[in-house]
Structure 1
């Protein structure tokens, strides 16, 4: 119980202060005049002023509150290596016992786990949240049980008491890690891209560990290639991407005996392969209305280098005009079809007929160009069924169609075949047309598919309109009509002309997204969006997913459209996932290329030292023994060899308050009246004595 005197004045304090000044002046005047009763009068005035101030005695019943010690336990991934879990458990158990032995003290425990999105160890955020939940006047200290690798030091709170660090790990720990210093997100196909790597050793590296390490490189989960690389030096590694789209490159350093962990020995980088400039050769056999369709399509793409020739004056034309007066450009046949044919990514023959311009040997070069990986698109017109058709040239060996001399005239609406509903070139095109359906075309060449030809569109009389095929390592397409331009003009509502031709061109250029049989997986946070496309009518079956730890799990993909299957898979861990379905296989990386938790694994108190020093705390290694806990005075050093200190705060809660006046009002009046009477009597006697003396 404690007591204190408080004031509850009857008048404002300024008024009481004014009356006090007036009383002092009157007392001074009485003293100056030599009045005998000045002292009792002054005492009476003081009693009246005290009565106006109304002093009271306040008594409180207080109950002491316990001091709080906060323990923040680091449970991040880096705390799972070596002996750290056992050290953490031992230190926490000892801290519990020490705090329990202290009078009027209790322990609050919180944990800090990996921050989402590879944010590292949020130890300071956990400490700040724990402090916010407790009255700061009761916090006697805080203890961090951690390896010291903290990634949110900027969130460190202002400590009201000593902060200590119990450091896990061993002084003899060492680790080797792989660092990807520079990895571009995009690279041009066919050109080497430089990646900067570094293999680095940390901690107490034992003698005998060489200055080189073995590094493996694997692309898209394929067999790795091994190289000897120096340790502690930046390494410029040129990599040429094998295909367009996403390329998964996995780097891994061979594990050395005694390493703290191998979680930072590998890194996965995804680089998107893009083409620099697509070189397209467009040869138009004669001017016609649809010629500009191809030119506009290819010229609208800034990444396409188009070489376009239209044969305006065939060799057999003899009109008597001197050659030197003609302003036509000579067709550089040898340069294009012999010397530079391999430089083109796509060759388009638009209504081309055999007129002796291209010798048979040149067309044989085109055939060989396709079988070795090139692509050819034939946009056929009425000439395709004549004697000078390309079908009657060496290109017939690679064309996936047979033709007749019949030209189907009359309006018809192109439509997708069953295969076209599933093929990526034409899948979903019907949804892009007008509500009443696609506009009509009015001419088609009668053809029939042969060999590996895939009929994805049909036209008049149900005859094949668009046929696709793979020949050798290349691809061939035949469009049996020259009226696609009607869609571009919006005739009868038009149709998805540009989208069809764009997809067709990109399929021929082997864009991965337009493969007929493809299995893809895109990471989204901790989820894989898995897609399977096939042109087969049969269910492809479940996908086998191999997790980073080697375990496998099957996943059934529901069908969401013709030949289109998709599902999401919750990835339970970060790392490289391998997906396989039949002969198809793909790999995908989930999470960061190298987790932040394992960038630096050697336990150290260097990062936390400034924060600990500001609170007079200490950093002690658990391997040297778990420390005692002592009570120390505020402002004094709170750590030493084998011990840490907390500052008792002496906090309390008031349970009851009683307020009583020092004296009742009548007592003040009685005292003041008695003093005033005393002053009057003294002054009266003094006046009578002086009268008698006179």
Structure 2
């Protein structure tokens, strides 16, 4: 129980102040005149002023509240190294025991795991959250059991009491890590990209650790290449991507004896290979309505460099016009088909016929160009069945079709074959049909597919309309109609002309997402989306997933749509995962290339020192033993050798309040009258008489 003197004045305080000033003036005048009772009169005035102030005694019944100590235990990945888990649990048990011996003290324990994604150790966020859940007036201190590697130091909260750090780890710990800098998300095929690589030692590095290590580099899980590299130096590594799409590069150094962990001895970098510019040669044999279809398609893509020639005046045309008066550009046949043919990614023959403009030797160059990895697309018209058809040139060796020289006239609606519904070039095109279905075409060249060719679309009389094939290292396609432009014009509703031609061009350019047989995986955090494309009639089997530790999991892929199989799988940890299904393999990196938790693994209190110093706390190594816990006064140093302190807050809750007047009113009046009477007697009857003048 406590008592407090309070006032509830009968008059406003300014009035009381004025009365007090008036009394003081009168008292001063009496003293100046030498009145012997001035002191008693002053006391009487003071009693009257006290009565007007109405003093009361307030008594409270208080119940003391316990002090709260917050302990944040770091259970992040770096805290699972070496003997740190045992150190943490031993320290927490010691803290519980020490605080249990202090009367009126409670312990709140907060466990901190890794932050989602690659957030690292959010130590200060956890401390702020724990403080927000407790009354700050009861918090007597906070203790962090950690290795000191926090990644949210700017979020350190203001502390109402001492903050201490109990540091795990050993003074003799050391670690070697591999660092990859400047790793881009995209790189241009054929051009080297520079990665900065560094191997760095941390902690108490022993002399026998060496100053050179073996570095292995593997692309897409292939055979690794070994290099000997120095420690502690930045190295610039030029890398040229071998293929388009995602390229997974794995860098690894061996584990050294005695180092803290090998988790940061490897780094995985995923770089998407893209083409800088696609060079396309379009040769139109004659002007026609569909010629602009190809031109518009290719010119609409800013990444395509298009070289387009239309033969407007064939050699056999004799009109008597002098050559020097023509404004036409001569067809640079030798430059295009001999000197620079290998610079093109795609060659399109649009209704081209043999007119002597291209010698057969040049067409042989085109044939060899395809077999060595080039691509050719033939958009056929009525000329394809004539005597001057490309089918009757050296290109016939690589074309996937035979022609009967028959031209089918009459309306028909193009349709997908069973293979076309599974093939990535045409898969799903039916869903893009306008209301009422695709519009009709009116002309088609009768052809038959060679063995091994892929017929993905059919037209009039169920004849092959679009045929695809691989020839050597290259690809060839034949579109047996020159009327795809009707879809672009919206005739009878039109159709997916641009989408079909875009996919066709990208398949021929060997874009990975349009491969017929492909196994791919996309990682988002630790969730893998595994996709399998196949044009086979029988569904593919299970996918074998090999984890970084060598364990294997078999996963069935359900069919999403014809030729497309997919499933989601949650990876148990970060690292490089290998996927295999038959002859197809793929690799995917799960998690960041260098997780924050393993960028720095040596236990240190340097990062937390500013926050600890500001809160009058201390940093103690658990290697030296668990500290004692003492109670210290607020503002005093709260840490020393082998001990840490908490500040008792003296918090309480008021259970009852009683207020009583200090004296009754009649007592004030009686006391004032008695003092005034004593002053009168002092000045009158008992005072000295003045002599008569």
TM-score range, shorter chain: over 0.9
CA contact (8 A) 1:112 1:126 kept: yes
Structure 1 counterpart of 2:589? 589
Alignment of 1:481-496 (within 5 A): 481-496=481-496
Q: Are 1:412 and 2:412 matched, yes or no?
A: yes
Alignment of 1:10-29 (within 5 A): 10-29=10-29
Structure 1 counterpart of 2:524? 524
Structure 2 counterpart of 1:268? 268
Deviations, residues 34-80 of structure 1 (Å, cap 9, x unaligned): 66665544333322221111111222233333332222111111011
Normalised by the size of structure 2, how large is the TM-score?
Answer: 0.95
Structure 2 counterpart of 1:71? 71
What is the CA-CA distance between 1:81 and the residue it aligns to?
Answer: 0.7
Q: Distance in 2 between matches of 1:376 and 1:691?
A: 141
Q: Distance in 1 between matches of 2:626 and 2:691?
A: 96
Q: Distance in 1 between matches of 2:372 and 2:653?
A: 88
SS of alignment partner, residue 207 of structure 2: coil
Alpha-carbon RMSD across the aligned residues, in angstroms, is 2.3
Structure 2 counterpart of 1:219? 219
Deviations, residues 325-346 of structure 1 (Å, cap 9, x unaligned): 4333332322222222211111
Structure 1 counterpart of 2:447? 447
Alignment of 1:3-402 (within 5 A): 3-31=3-31, 38-402=38-402
Q: Distance in 1 between matches of 2:200 and 2:160?
A: 40
Q: Distance in 2 between matches of 1:686 and 1:91?
A: 83
Deviations, residues 511-553 of structure 1 (Å, cap 9, x unaligned): 0111112222222233222222222232223333223333222
Deviates more, 1:332-341 or 1:274-283: 332-341
Deviates more, 1:124-133 or 1:381-390: 124-133
Distance of aligned partners of 1:31 and 1:189 in 2 relative to their CA distance in 1, 3 Å threshold: closer
CA contact (8 A) 1:375 1:476 kept: yes
SS of alignment partner, residue 503 of structure 1: helix
What is the CA-CA distance between 1:594 and the residue it aligns to?
Answer: 0.5
* Residues paired across the two proteins, number: 693
Distance of aligned partners of 1:32 and 1:239 in 2 relative to their CA distance in 1, 3 Å threshold: closer
CA contact (8 A) 1:421 1:427 kept: yes
Distance of aligned partners of 1:233 and 1:40 in 2 relative to their CA distance in 1, 3 Å threshold: closer
Normalised by the size of structure 1, how large is the TM-score?
Answer: 0.95
Q: Distance in 2 between matches of 1:606 and 1:679?
A: 76
CA contact (8 A) 1:11 1:53 kept: yes
Deviates more, 1:280-289 or 1:378-387: 280-289
Q: Distance in 1 between matches of 2:114 and 2:189?
A: 38
Q: Distance in 1 between matches of 2:326 and 2:578?
A: 63
Q: Distance in 2 between matches of 1:70 and 1:367?
A: 77
Deviations, residues 420-474 of structure 1 (Å, cap 9, x unaligned): 1221111222222321222221111011112111111111111111111111211
Structure 2 unaligned runs (5+)? Answer: none
What is the CA-CA distance between 1:32 and the residue it aligns to?
Answer: 5.2
CA contact (8 A) 1:36 1:686 kept: no
Alignment of 1:590-609 (within 5 A): 590-609=590-609
Distance of aligned partners of 1:690 and 1:208 in 2 relative to their CA distance in 1, 3 Å threshold: closer
Q: Are 1:557 and 2:570 matched, yes or no?
A: no
Deviates more, 1:403-412 or 1:93-102: 93-102
SS of alignment partner, residue 208 of structure 1: helix
What is the CA-CA distance between 1:213 and the residue it aligns to?
Answer: 1.1
SS of alignment partner, residue 179 of structure 2: strand
Q: Distance in 2 between matches of 1:614 and 1:570?
A: 44
What is the CA-CA distance between 1:286 and the residue it aligns to?
Answer: 1.7
Q: Distance in 2 between matches of 1:543 and 1:388?
A: 50
Deviations, residues 143-181 of structure 1 (Å, cap 9, x unaligned): 211111111111112223222221111111111101011
Structure 1 unaligned runs (5+)? Answer: none
Distance of aligned partners of 1:604 and 1:34 in 2 relative to their CA distance in 1, 3 Å threshold: closer
What is the CA-CA distance between 1:285 and the residue it aligns to?
Answer: 1.6
Q: Distance in 1 between matches of 2:36 and 2:307?
A: 129
Q: Distance in 2 between matches of 1:48 and 1:137?
A: 42
What is the CA-CA distance between 1:507 and the residue it aligns to?
Answer: 0.5
What is the CA-CA distance between 1:691 and the residue it aligns to?
Answer: 12
Q: Distance in 1 between matches of 2:31 and 2:100?
A: 69
Distance of aligned partners of 1:25 and 1:405 in 2 relative to their CA distance in 1, 3 Å threshold: same
CA contact (8 A) 1:141 1:162 kept: yes
CA contact (8 A) 1:249 1:269 kept: yes
Deviates more, 1:344-353 or 1:206-215: 206-215
Q: Distance in 2 between matches of 1:201 and 1:41?
A: 89
Q: Distance in 1 between matches of 2:43 and 2:258?
A: 90
Distance of aligned partners of 1:94 and 1:691 in 2 relative to their CA distance in 1, 3 Å threshold: closer
